[in-house]
Every structure is written in structure tokens, then in C-alpha cells.
Amino acid sequence: MQLQRIPRTVVCTWLRTARLPLDAVEAVVRRGDHDLEWPPAIAFDAFEATVKQFAGSIFRDDELVEDGRVGQARVAQLRKAVELDAVAAQRQAEADAEFAQRRQADEQHRREVQRQAEQREAALERDRVDEKRRVAEEDARKRKDAAQVETIEERIVEREDRAARATRIRAERDALQHERKAVAAKTRVKDLDEELQDTKAARKGN
């Protein structure tokens, strides 16, 4: 039994020695990251299990062979766990990508809705401006028409006033002419009367 332990000890010591550089690299590369098994470490564990089974079969050390089988089973479980973790990571990445795509689509939809709302608001604002301009133009047109009507009415009144003044002036001029004619007729009558008186006086003197 003691002779069987010697090869086992030599094999295990050699394997631990061979693993030291890998452990040193793993300590530096995977500092603070121990969530998953390191693939090089798993590969070395598989190598170690194979060596133990091979050495155990040569030296007829059943315990070493069993250690190798246990190690090989452990490596299989670790590899299965790594595969499951990879699948989970892939699914998580796909879910993240799908979520990011959906969020991007939602953002694009939100922007499109906002753009349409802004377009509707701009159209409503243009309609309000157009309506305001139309009302202003209509009001200006009405004021212009009213001003034109007022101007026409003023011209008509002014024309009527001028016509009335002209009529009054003609009437006054006709009255004045009539009065002048009357005065001239009275003067002529008076002259004729005086002439008649003179004629009568002349006759009496003869």
C-alpha cells in the first residue's frame, strides 16, 4: 500500500506544480471575477483527471483512478454549467437587444406622434393666422366701403348744398331784378307825372 501511495503522491505533486503558473495567471487575469469557471482552468482540470486515470491504471491505483473519474465528472459539470451560462448570457443579450430595439421603436413612435402633433398644431396656427388675416381684410374692406359711401354722401350733400345755394342766389337775383324793374317803373311813372304836371302848368300859363 505504501508503494502505491508513492506514485500517487508524485503524480499529485507534479500536477499541483504544473498548475501553479496557471493559478498565478488566473489570479491576475480574473482578479475579483469568480462568478464563472475560467476555461483554461477547466481544461487543466480535464487534463489532470485524464492524467490521474492514466497513471492510476498504470500503477494499479484504484483511488487515483477514482480521483480522475471524479475530476472528469466535475469537469463535465463545469463545462455544462459554462454552456448553460453561455446560453443564458446569449438569451440575456438577445433579450437586451430586443428590449433596446423595442425601446428604440417606442422612441421613434413617440417622436413620430410628437412630430404629427407639432404638424397639427402648426396647421392650426396657420389656420388661426389665415382667419385673423381674413377678418382683418374683411374689416378693412368694410371700413373702406363705408368711407367710400360716406365720401359719396358728403359729395351728394355738398352738391345739394351748392344747388340749393345756386337756387337761392338765382331767386335773390331774380327778386333783385324784379325790384329794380319795379323801382325803374316807379321812377318812370314819377317822371311821366312830373312831365304831365309841367304840361298842365304850361297850358294854364298860356
- Residue 141 grid coordinates: 374692406
- The answer to whether position 57 is within a domain reads yes
Give me the pLDDT at residue 33, please.
57
68 found inside a domain: yes
Q: Determine, yes or no, domain membership for 95.
A: yes
Residue 106 lies in a domain: yes
DSSP string for residues in 55-83: HHHHHT-HHHHHHHHHHHHHHHHHHHHHH
Low-confidence ranges of the chain (pLDDT < 70): 1-6, 8, 30-36, 198, 200-206
Please report whether residue 96 resides in a domain: yes
Is 82 part of any domain? yes
Cβ pair 35, 92 in contact under 8 A: no
Residue 164's alpha-carbon distances to 95, 155, 161, in angstroms, are 101, 14, 5
Number of domains in the chain: 1
Residue 56 lies in a domain: yes
Q: How far is CA 59 from CA 13, 18, 51, 65, 114, in A?
A: 16, 21, 12, 10, 80
- What is residue 35's predicted lDDT score, i.e. its pLDDT? 52
Phi-psi domain of 60 (left: phi exceeds 0; alpha: psi -120 through 50; beta: other): left
- Of the candidates 50, 46, 69, 55, the residue with the CA atom closest to the CA atom of residue 6: 55
Full-model pTM: 0.41
Identify the residue whose cell numbers are 388675416: 133
pLDDT at 2: 46
**pLDDT score recorded for residue 85:** 80
Tell me whether residue 24 is in a domain.
yes
Question: CA-CA distance, 91 to 174, in Å (whole number)?
Answer: 121
Domain housing 17: 2-113
Helix (H, G, I), strand (E, B) or coil at 113: helix
* pLDDT score of 77: 86
